Amino acid sequence: MTASEKPFFTRQHIGGSAGVGLAASVAPALAQGAKSMKDQGLQNPADKYPKPPYKKQSQPWPGLASGMEPRPDHGETSYKGSGRLAGRKALITGGDSGMGRAAAIAYAREGADVAINYFPTEEPDAKEVIDLIKAEGRVGVAIPGDLRDEKFCQELVARAIDGLGSLDILVCNAGRQQAHDSILDISSEDFDATTKTNIYAPFWIIKAALPHLKPGSVIIGTTSEQAYDPSPDLYDYAQTKAATMNYIKALAKQLGPKGIRVNGVAPGPIWTPLQVSGGASMEKLEKFGGQTPLGRAGQPAELGSIYVQLAAADASYATGQVYGSAGGSGQP
């Protein structure tokens, strides 16, 4: 960490003293902090990332971030931590790409050890994430496997705890989205795969993890603007996201008395492999996010800090909340 990247206030800056002692110790720190703080400047969020039209592209499910054009930004070069999750132990499903990868990078830079789950064919994306976690001096645990299998979900939690030593942040982020113009085009196998991935897997994983989660732990689910405003071609997917929003609120009530917070993130149109591997039609992809007030798709990097905020101990009164990030549209 360079001097300019150091957190503005640290325990050392504040010191253990009070009154005059505190003022005396804070004043030079303030001056030093002000000097070393880099001017971030103002940036128009509408112009921050590529806008539509995007290039038509398609990959076999579940797709790779490394194969997308333009490559999504997960915060690889931009996210700067300040120790907000020091010593925490996180498991993130779908941690290889998209929102899960942005969360994994941000968590590691905030001082957490991170285990990621992904589908076995996503190994190339996952390897990049593990390398980035390790580059922060944190423990990175890779656990490939299919979340549609209850036994694997149980093993996943056991292997994460084994690799991390314990668990106090659980991010149920993996999701399956396949667009179909008509309900008549959705087979029972399709419906089953979407439901298993988006509803059953979090159910199985949370059940396996709960006995290990101490007070102060957090569960975060990735829902969607689709939970509130479903698209006609996402009949099956959208209802699973409504279920996600609902389990977040139900579990927050159930687990609040145990000191475990449960919150959700509701993204809008975000540039991820899910969209180029069956999640969106080519017509939709070309104009992706263009209808939002910001006029473009969001990038996973723009959500990393939200996953941090919901996990951080200073957000201790936030539970049962859903935090939206949809470029001005959407209703969390």
Q: Which residue is nearest to ligand NAD (CB)?
A: 98
CA separation for the pair 326, 105 (Å, rounded): 21
Single residue of 122, 136, 168, 302 touching Mg ion by CB under 5 A: 122
Single residue of 81, 267, 278, 332 touching ligand NAD by CB under 6 A: 267
Kindly state the DSSP code that residue 181 receives in the 8-state scheme: S
Q: Which of 237, 247, 307, 323 is catalytic?
A: 237
CA separation for the pair 273, 77 (Å, rounded): 20
| Residue 206 makes contact with ligand NAD by CB under 6 A | no
274 binds, among Mg ion, ligand NAD, none (CB under 5 to 8 A by kind): ligand NAD
8 A C-beta contact, residue 238 and residue 187: no
Single residue of 122, 136, 236, 302 touching ligand NAD by CB under 6 A: 122
Contacts of 67 (CB under 8 A, 6+ apart): 59, 273
Shortest distance in whole angstroms from residue 282 CB to Mg ion: 20
Phi and psi for 73 in degrees, rounded to 5?
Answer: -100, 120
**Is-cis flag, bond preceding 70, omega within 30?**
yes
Instruction: Report H helices in 11-122.
Output: 11-14, 19-36, 98-109
Kindly state the DSSP code that residue 298 receives in the 8-state scheme: B
Residue 237 falls in the annotated catalytic set: yes
Window 158-177: contact mask with ligand NAD (x via CB under 6 A): ---------------xxxxx
Shortest distance in whole angstroms from residue 331 CB to Mg ion: 27
Instruction: Please give the residue ranges that form the binding site for ligand NAD (CB under 6 A).
Output: 62-63, 94, 96-100, 118-119, 122, 146-148, 173-177, 197, 222, 224, 267, 269-270, 272-275
Which are the catalytic amino acids? 237
